Amino acid sequence: MDSPRTKVSSARDTSSRQPLSTAVVPVATQSARSSVIDSLKGCTLAGLRIPKEELRKKITIPEYLRIAMKESILAKDVNSLAAQTLFDAARAAGGELVQPPEGPLVVFINSRSGGRHGPELKARLQILMGEEQVYDLSLVKPHEFVQYGLGCLEKFSDLGDGCAKEVRDKLRVVVAGGDGTVGWVLGCLGELHKECREPVPPTGIIPLGTGNDLSRSFGWGGSFPFNWKSAIKKTLDRVTDAPVCRLDSWNLVLSMPAGEALETPYSLKPCEEISLDEGLGVEVELPEKTSCYQGVFYNYFSIGMDAQVAYGFHHLRNEKPYLAQGPISNKLIYSGYSCKQGWFFTPCSSDPSLRGLKNILRIHIKKVNCSDWEPIPIPASVRSIVALNLPSYGSGRNPWGNLKPEYLEKRGFVEAHADDGLLEIFGLKHGWHASIVMAELISAKHIAQASAICFELRGGEWNEAYMQMDGEPWKQPINNDYSTFVEIKRVPFQSVMVHGD
């Protein structure tokens, strides 16, 4: 049987340029609609045509199952006495004959996202379905749900409970939060692949974040709708029967000389030392000891000035949380802050030749259908490099652009999709260039498409760089004597998404 990567490669060879996917529908190309337009789009009467009681009947898991799942999670034990008691009582009362719902759902909500809407949305969801089906991520972590909640359903199924089996097989997940929250849940659901616990529940999204690029890419809109009380009914109903599609995710390994302090974002965790791909043929001297970190991203990874601005903004927001009252205020503050970081105006005393990433960075990539690493030149003017997975970046923009077939053929590129096994690598020169790109008046500086990437950083005139992964930035120390490596490879399985359009 072909590996996933082989399948992707062969799919890329076809003249139709279609991406690999078992999806019913492809991921739609994301246009640069504004958040206001997305919100106005949600202001329809469509949600009012869904009777509350019919929706509740359609999505609510039988009481004994949803409470048993919650008890297993609280006890952190699929064999909890409370869950077993519920199972025994249900069987004694004929519980095995209970009919499962047509479209069982569970919702993960980051109640701290979305400003004041978070707590209100949580309460609304609890009214529309069983209260135990709404998981506040500040209380229940998604890996606990995967291990104990789904584990409880699987145990009941193994004991002959047909209702539990059908709920497990039909179950879908809704994530109410921003891109980081969605990625967190997807990563935990991905553990089901590793443990051969199929099927993996498909995931729909209620956007509560600032950028919401994952939500935009899969047809769930770019912002929380104005008439959200009725729109939420429409969303829940749509999740139950909408088609599914696939999403690539990317494993990132950061290897740096040991001894340097590194304040990592939530998505990047320390790990055991991991050797670099031997095919890289690294000719530099390696340190005796290294520190390694590992994480997964779904949208993008970037190095350079954009990450520096994001890092400063995040620290400002943490120090003065009263400034961040919602997506619009966040974007205004972010725009103002970026003007003060040298992204638009670089001090005249700074040597122009030292501003570009070319001075500290080397890039090696693997192209599609190729197992060998090859070096890629970095334009001297580029101050930020982004490796992009989705057709949506920075609140719905597509900096890679919708490229014409002639240009794709000339550059050896193929049409970009979120499930094609490739990352699009592009560069931004400065804030003015980035602004024009984000307005979609021009495309970014196209550098390469790759199925794997290795970034090598060496200090030179700099002693630090800035990186970010799906909006989580950090300050990366770099060394004059030893290189720091960032190696990116595709996760061998894909996330299963519900497509909202």
Q: What are phi and psi of 25, to 5 degrees?
A: -130, 150
**Could you tell me if residue 44 is inside a domain?**
yes
Q: Is residue 4 part of a domain?
A: no
3-state secondary structure of 27: coil
> Do 262 and 150 share a domain, yes or no?
no
Last residue of a domain, one of 221, 242, 263: 242
Are residues 425 and 453 part of one domain? yes
Max avg pLDDT among 2-11, 167-176, 325-334, 443-452: 167-176
Whether 325 and 391 map to the same domain: the answer is yes
Answer for the pair 244, 24: CB distance below 8 angstroms, yes or no: yes
CATH number at residue 387: 2.60.200.40
Angstrom distance (rounded) from CA 376 to CA 448: 8
Report yes or no on 7 lying in a domain.
no
* Domain total in the chain: 2
Which pLDDT band, with edges at 50, 70 and 90, does 275 fall under? Answer: confident
Instruction: Pick the last residue of a domain from 213, 242, 271.
Output: 242
Residue 391 above 80 pLDDT?
yes
> Where is the domain boundary, 242, 272, 304?
242
340 and 420 both lie in a single domain: yes
- Give the integer Cα–Cα distance in Å for 474 and 464: 10
Same domain (yes/no): 214, 363: no
CB 223 within 8 A of CB 395: no
Q: Which residues contact 70 (CB under 8 A, 6 or more apart)?
A: 132, 149
Same domain, 66 and 109: yes
Q: Is residue 499 part of a domain?
A: no
Buried b (16+ CB within 10 A) or exposed e, 158-193: eeebebbbbbbebbbbbbbbbbbbbbbbbbbbbebb
Any idea which residue has 């690598």 for tokens? 425
CA pair distance 194, 417, nearest whole angstrom: 25
Task: Give the SS3 label for residue 400.
Answer: coil
- What is the domain extent for residue 374? 250-493
* 392 neighbors 217 (Cβ within 8 angstroms): yes
Q: Are residues 159 and 282 in the same domain?
A: no
**Rounded Cα distance, 202 and 184, in Å:** 14
Residue 290 shares a structural domain with residue 224: no
Which residues partner with 428 through β-bridges? 384
Same domain for 109 and 151, yes or no, is yes
Domain assignment of residue 3, yes or no: no
Residue 213 domain-assigned (yes or no)? yes
Compute the distance between CA of residue 21 and CA of residue 471 in angstroms, rounded to an integer.
26
Same domain as 223, residue 78: yes
**Pair 276, 198 in one domain:** no
Q: What is the pLDDT of residue 454?
A: 96
Amino acid at 148: Y
Give the integer Cα–Cα distance in Å for 471 and 313.
11
Average pLDDT over residues 156-177: 95
User: Which of 11-15, 276-280, 441-445, 487-491 shows the lowest mean pLDDT across its residues?
Assistant: 11-15
Q: Is residue 186 part of a domain?
A: yes
Reply yes or no on whether the pLDDT at 254 is more than 70.
yes
